[in-house]
Structure 1
Amino acid sequence: MEFLRPATWAEALAMKAERPDARPIAGGTDVMVELNFDRTRPPALLDLTAIPELATWNTDIVPGWIRIGAGMTYTRIIEELGGMFPGLAIAARTVGSPQIRNRGTIGGNLGSASPAGDLLPVLLANRGAEVWVESVRKKAGPYPVYDFFTGPKRNLLAPDELIREVRMRVTHGPEQFAKIGTRNAMVIAVCSFALTLDPGEREVGTGIGSAGPTPLLAFDAGEYLAGELDWEGAGPLDDRVARRFGELVAAAANPIDDVRGTAEYRRHALSVMARRTLGWAWADYRKGAAECA
């Protein structure tokens, strides 16, 4: 197995163009497990850890948006971006152990394209988040995150393309994430759910994990809730609205029975998580409205 270690992004793109069969590696939290269990044996590994700009973030690309380099680790997302994207930080905290969070990256989560990827429902819930990819033959450009996943562990990346960054809208609204597993920590999600309330646009973003062949939007649930919430008065949450929201989230899932849980359980759990995350997020919204008043 050949080991390639570019020092710049241009070098990385050139190496990927020459060796489209090279497997990108950053944190290695997925790739090294597959190698250790002999599940995969790529002809080459393309180590992206020496490229500085992949491990940076900034807000000066487009007003109201933030750019997050593909090499940003879960730990740095928690520490540096939790104020702007609390849902992303909550999800990152559920990933593995501290050692895994210190190594794993947002780009790796996207590249692996697992339906159970913990950050992916949060990116879906951001409503408009983009995955920016690039190659030697094609200038950097975006894929909407809701189009990026094509099947279990499959995405739209061409063999010569690499993920450069993620771009997300800053909504200044409450965000939540919930995950159910067979234990409390260091576990693959049986199912997960992310919620974003955007007061400026009066929109609701949703994301479902580990309950379909890809991470899923619960579009109808978000549209329903956006029309029912008391954005102006910030009154108490109607229990009828919360229950209907949970039902619509469960209906958006496409789960299967497997060793971690049944399809029926996943739908039930998503309904419960949707109601709970909505309750937490709406409480945050009402608190913010009261402080502003």
Structure 2
Amino acid sequence: MEFLRPTGWDEALAAKAEHPGAVPIAGGTDVMVELNFDHRRPDHLLDLSGIAELRDWETGPETVRLGAAVPYTRVIEDLRDELPALALAAHTVGSPQIRNRGSVGGNLGAASPAGDSHPALLAAGAEVEAESVRGSRRIPVEEFFTGVKRHALAPDELIRAVRVRRATGPQQFAKVGTRNAMVIAVCAFSVALHPDTRSVRTGIGSAAPTPVRARTAEDFLTAALEDGGFWDSGAALPPSVARQFAELAGAACNPIDDVRGSAAYRRHAVSVLARRTLGWTWESYRGGRTTEGGAQCA
């Protein structure tokens, strides 16, 4: 195995173009596990840890641009107001040591259906900034995942950054696991209210071959909030609305049976998470708050 260590972004792109099979590594929280268990043995490792710009972020009026190697700890400590659902999800990732090394860019590159950041990115609305020596492009996050641990990157492309819409309303994330920390999600759910566009977005993790949005549930709730005048009145949602939203969220799943849970359990659990997170976000909206208070574990 050959170890490539570029000192700049252009050098990294050139190395990836010359060795399309090279596996990028920065924090190493996913890649090193696969190497240690001999699940992967690439001819080249492409170390991106020396490229400082990948650890920077920019906060604009509408979006936050996260460098691919910005660690979860920075999201938690510095971006919880702008990216509340992502900060909540980051709280549930591994241990403090893992959160100090792991990044959203690395999580996307692994493309696991159970990646903790993925539901929050889907709910918030994000784009993956991919680049190669041929140029750059932005991939909507819902189009990024193409299968189990497969993504839309070309062989010569690297993730440079992730662009996430700043929160304009409350957001939530919750997951079910065998314990509260350092655990792969049995399933996960995120919901974001977007009062500026009077719309709702969701994200589901570990309940389908790829992370997915519950689009029918989103459309139902968006229409219910508008038709009932709830955006303007801030009135309590009828239980029937929350129940229907939860059922539609569960129906959006396409899970499997495995050692962590059955398909039936995952569908039920996603429905429960959808109902709970909707309750938390709507109560926050009614109270006039647009940021989360703390991580929610279901």
TM norm structure 1? 0.95
Distance of 2:70 and 2:57 partners within structure 1 = 8
Indicate whether 1:123 and 2:101 are aligned. no
1:45 aligns with: 45
User: Counterparts of 1:1-293 in structure 2 under 5 Å?
Assistant: 1-60=1-60, 63-127=61-125, 129-137=126-134, 139-229=135-225, 230-288=230-288
Q: Which ranges of 4 or more aligned residues in structure 1 deviate by more than 2 Å?
A: none
Give CA deviations for 1:242-279 in whole Å, capped at 9, x if unaligned: 00000000000100111100010001000000000000
Q: Give the CA deviation at 1:131.
A: 0.5
Distance of 1:280 and 1:234 partners within structure 2 = 14
Contact map agreement 2:64 2:82 (CA 8 A) in 1: no
Q: Give the CA deviation at 1:119.
A: 0.3
2:193 is paired with a residue whose SS is strand
Distance of 1:56 and 1:237 partners within structure 2 = 40
TM norm structure 2? 0.94
2:142 is paired with a residue whose SS is helix
Contact map agreement 1:171 1:199 (CA 8 A) in 2: no
Q: Give the CA deviation at 1:237.
A: 1.8
1:165 is paired with a residue whose SS is strand
Contact map agreement 1:171 1:200 (CA 8 A) in 2: no
Q: Give the CA deviation at 1:152.
A: 0.2
Distance of 1:27 and 1:232 partners within structure 2 = 45
2:288 is paired with a residue whose SS is helix
Contact map agreement 1:107 1:163 (CA 8 A) in 2: yes
Give CA deviations for 1:157-196 in whole Å, capped at 9, x if unaligned: 1111100111111132100001001112110000000000
Distance of 1:181 and 1:59 partners within structure 2 = 32
Q: Give the CA deviation at 1:215.
A: 0.1
Distance of 1:250 and 1:231 partners within structure 2 = 25
Q: Give the CA deviation at 1:5.
A: 1.0
The amino acid across from 1:6 in the alignment is P
Backbone CA RMSD of aligned residues: 1.0
Distance of 2:91 and 2:6 partners within structure 1 = 30
> Unaligned regions of 5+ residues in structure 1, if any?
none
Contact map agreement 2:57 2:67 (CA 8 A) in 1: yes
Give CA deviations for 1:123-156 in whole Å, capped at 9, x if unaligned: 11123x110101012x111011101111000001
Distance of 2:177 and 2:5 partners within structure 1 = 36
Contact map agreement 2:65 2:163 (CA 8 A) in 1: yes
Distance of 1:166 and 1:120 partners within structure 2 = 12
> Unaligned regions of 5+ residues in structure 2, if any?
290-298
Distance of 1:91 and 1:145 partners within structure 2 = 16
Give CA deviations for 1:199-252 in whole Å, capped at 9, x if unaligned: 111100100000000001101101111121210010112111000000000000
Higher mean alpha-carbon deviation, 165-174 vs 24-33, is at: 165-174
Q: Give the CA deviation at 1:9.
A: 0.5
Contact map agreement 2:84 2:167 (CA 8 A) in 1: no
Distance of 1:154 and 1:3 partners within structure 2 = 23
